[in-house]
Structure 1
């Protein structure tokens, strides 16, 4: 490349006004039905994310406000972080036994 010439690059992107939203299917269907805590059958899952253990509890059929309030009290009692996504509660760490006891006190049931 000599000094006096400009570098002209063509990347190959063709941008026009036909943008489309990407629709990816959900892993599970979210139900709008609200169930009282005694009729829930919750399941535990354990995953590794970035080398750390995450405990998943679900599937909750509660209004979002009630579920986030329940999550907030559980996080305070357990002293850990967590979130509520797609009707599942995620907790940082391996806390299955402690979570099970606290949710039983709230009236939830579990699958064996």
Structure 2
């Protein structure tokens, strides 16, 4: 049996309104690194392990995945991308900040 796709009815007075069903990620603009305002913070709540989280990235998911791959490779650690946040395993915040600075990203250190 074929699965039914949930279609929601939308009402808007905005003539340019696009429902999320019609959202295309390719329409997102690629923002230059110097226009990004990233937050680099440490999270100690993941099963007692330290992780560095990079928040507030704006852009397509392919770009954030490429940045995460580059950071993980240069730091020699693992990590993932979830909810537009890059999660890097280990206490490598200083090294990540050096890499982001070299790549031209604007960022600020948040917490500890």
Q: Same fold (TM over 0.5)?
A: yes
2:70 and 2:104 mapped to 1: Cα distance? Answer: 14
Q: Which residue of 2 aligns with 1:38?
A: 34
Structure ID, larger Rg: 1
Per the alignment, residue 8 of structure 1 pairs with: none
**Cα RMSD (Å):** 1.6
Q: Report how many aligned residue pairs link the two structures.
A: 81
Q: CA deviation at 1:34?
A: 4.5
Kindly provide the CA deviation profile for residues 17-75 of structure 1, in whole angstroms up to 9, marking residues without a partner as x: xxxxxxxxxxxxxxx66422111111122112111101101211121111111111111
Structure 1 residue aligned with 2:50: 53
TM-score of the superposition, structure 1-length normalised?
A: 0.65
Distance 1:68 1:104 in 2: 18
**Separation in structure 2 between the aligned mates of residue 44 and residue 69 of structure 1, nearest angstrom:** 17
The unaligned stretches of length 5 or more in structure 1 are 1-31
TM-score between both structures, scaled by the size of structure 2: 0.65
